[in-house]
Amino acid sequence: MRMKKFIAPSMKEGIIQMKKELGEDAVILSTRNVKVEGSADIVEIIAALDDQLLGQASELHASGSGEKSTVKTTQDKSASPSPQAQKTVSASKAAAVYSQSHPSNDDEQNISQAATLLQLRNDVRWLKETLAAVAESIPFRYANSLSPANREVYTTLRGQDFPDDEALRIVGLASAKGTTNDTSEEILAAAREIISSELSLFPPLEVRPTSTTVAFVGTTGGGKTTTITKLAAICKLLYKANILIVSADTYKVGGAEQLQTFASIAGIAFHTAYSSQELRQIVKQESKRDFIFIDTVGRSQQRRQHLLEIGAYLEAASPDITYLVQSASTGEQTFLQTLERFSVLEPDALILTKLDESAGLGGILTALRRHTLPLAYYTTGQKIPDDIETARAERLAEIVLPQL
Ligand SMILES: Nc1nc2c(ncn2[C@@H]2O[C@H](COP(=O)(O)OP(=O)(O)OP(=O)(O)O)[C@@H](O)[C@H]2O)c(=O)[nH]1
Ligand SMILES: [Mg+2]
């Protein structure tokens, strides 16, 4: 284990010396050019081997006797040196002279500085490592204070995207249910019960004596049109219902055509409403239908004006049910914002789409619990009509908390 000062005619030669004496793993701690009067500049390098650097450095510092500087001159012994070689020779001599005239006192000061630098480097490295470890443990920061069974369920909930406080709340309630053995399976079952009991549900569509007008609103690409085709197909197959689909989506290119094609294949009546007045009339005229499904244009929750335009259509149609159709693969914050902004349209229930694409439903379920919008259906893929299910709380709780 060594720390050394090298004085050499050039950086290159200094490094060669350093590697020769300290090996390939040597680390340069500092370098500086030294001006020597009447000669080319020489170079001073302080280097060390990385392991036990600090110990070495502080030892040297404490004893006050720095390692003796090693100076190796690179004399060119050729008979008639070139100007370049001459310069080397003169720098080499200068290096030797400088080395002798700057004994260990000087080294001591340099090494002391190097030791401080090393101390700082090590401190920064330690801080970095500690910070990384803390950042990693933040999602599970409460886990260590929980019993092993609670911890397992808590960790599963966090892994399913439940916010920290919500995961803790559920685990707390689940363990307070007082099971006999308190195994993680029991806590898990209790947690499922809590999640499902707190979910508010909306009854599925059914044929009534009078016509049911159903509007579908939501953010762009959330799955409104696809969901309408799924529900229309199911209502037709299951109830032999008399259905009309109205597209009020004249904004999106091909928005209405997409539905029209489906309707004609499925043998379902179809209309396009180019204005809210036209929609009002269609709904009035078609009151003999079991269901009138209204597709609306997808709108960003950020644009209040656009939402109000949809509001005008809804006012004209006066739907019995308005579904907010929202993808489960959006983050909790976007989901919450969508619920809040679309509340101006007074949706009755939520249809959660793209469960198959969601990495974890915890954030969404938490937002739903806090927002108290009941869940009517969820969709799990693009297949029509297979990939839609009537929302069942136990099933959702199982999806969120599968067997350990
Ligand atoms: N993976 C998956 N994809 C879905 C699901 N539901 C809809 N999609 C797909 O999502 C995309 C958008 O669906 P649309 O039904 O056109 O959505 P929209 O809300 O009508 O869209 P806009 O009319 O543009 O606002 C399509 O590619 C659908 O096939 C689902 O449950 N899972
Ligand atoms: Mg659409």
Arithmetic mean of pLDDT over the chain: 82
**In sequence order, which residues have a C-beta less than 8 Å from that of residue 5 and are 6 or more positions away?**
44, 45, 46, 66, 67, 69, 70, 107, 110, 111
Write the pLDDT tens digit of every residue in 182-237: 788 888 999 999 999 999 999 999 999 999 999 999 999 999 999 999 999 999 99
pLDDT in the model for residue 82: 45
Task: With CA atoms as reference, report the closest residue to 310 among 279, 348, 269, 352.
Answer: 279
pLDDT in the model for residue 300: 78
Rounded average pLDDT over 360-379: 92
Write the pLDDT tens digit of every residue in 242-297: 999 999 987 777 778 889 999 999 999 999 999 999 999 999 999 999 999 999 98
pLDDT in the model for residue 71: 36
Q: Report d(CA 69, CA 215) in Å as an integer.
A: 86
pLDDT over threshold 80, residue 136:
no
pLDDT in the model for residue 256: 82
Beta-bridge partner residues of 292: 213, 244
Contact present, 256 and 272 (Cβ < 8 Å): yes
Beta-bridge partner residues of 269: 244
Instruction: Write out the H or E segment, with its range, that includes residue 390.
Output: strand 388-390
pTM for the predicted model, two decimal places: 0.67
Query: Where along the chain do its domains lie?
Result: 3-133, 141-198, 212-400
Q: Report d(CA 396, CA 289) in Å as an integer.
A: 33
pLDDT over threshold 90, residue 402:
no
Report the separation in Å between the CA atom of 222 and the middle of ligand 1, taken as the mean of its atom positions.
5
**Residue 346: pLDDT band by 50, 70, 90 thresholds?**
very high
pLDDT over threshold 60, residue 15:
yes
Nearest atom (ligand 1) to Cα of 226: 15
Question: What is the 3-state composition of the chain as percent helix, strand, coil, each rounded to the nearest 5?
Answer: 50, 15, 30
**Residue 29: pLDDT band by 50, 70, 90 thresholds?**
confident
Report the separation in Å between the CA atom of 342 and the middle of ligand 1, taken as the mean of its atom positions.
18
What is the share, in percent, of the chain residues with pLDDT greater than 90?
45
pLDDT in the model for residue 364: 92
> What is the token pair recorded at 147?
């019993």
Write the pLDDT tens digit of every residue in 41-97: 889 888 887 655 444 444 444 443 333 333 333 333 333 444 444 445 566 777 777
pLDDT in the model for residue 209: 94
Q: Report d(CA 13, CA 72) in Å as an integer.
A: 9
- Classify 229 as helix, strand or coil: helix
pLDDT in the model for residue 140: 59
Ligand 1, residues at Cβ distance < 6 Å? 218, 220-226, 249, 252, 255, 298, 353-354, 356-357, 379-382, 387
Q: Which of 323, 324, 353 to mutate to test the pocket of ligand 1 (most atoms within 8 A of CB)?
A: 353
Q: Report d(CA 15, CA 26) in Å as an integer.
A: 9
Report the separation in Å between the CA atom of 223 and the middle of ligand 2, taken as the mean of its atom positions.
7
DSSP letter for each residue of 65-124: -PPPPEE-------SS--HHHHHHHHHHHHHHHHHHHS-HHHHHHHHHHHHHHHHHHHHH
Beta-bridge partner residues of 90: none
Residues with CB under 5 A from ligand 2 (ion): 224-225
* Nearest protein Cα to ligand 1, atom 14: 223
Task: With CA atoms as reference, report the closest residue to 61 among 106, 111, 102.
Answer: 111
> What is the token pair recorded at 253?
């290119």
pLDDT over threshold 70, residue 2:
no
Number of Cβ atoms within 10 Å of the Cβ of 277: 11
Task: With CA atoms as reference, report the closest residue to 246 among 309, 296, 212.
Answer: 296
CATH 3.30.43.10 at 212-400, yes or no: no
Report the separation in Å between the CA atom of 253 and the middle of ligand 1, taken as the mean of its atom positions.
15
> What is the token pair recorded at 184?
């993680």
What single-letter DSSP state applies at residue 344?
G
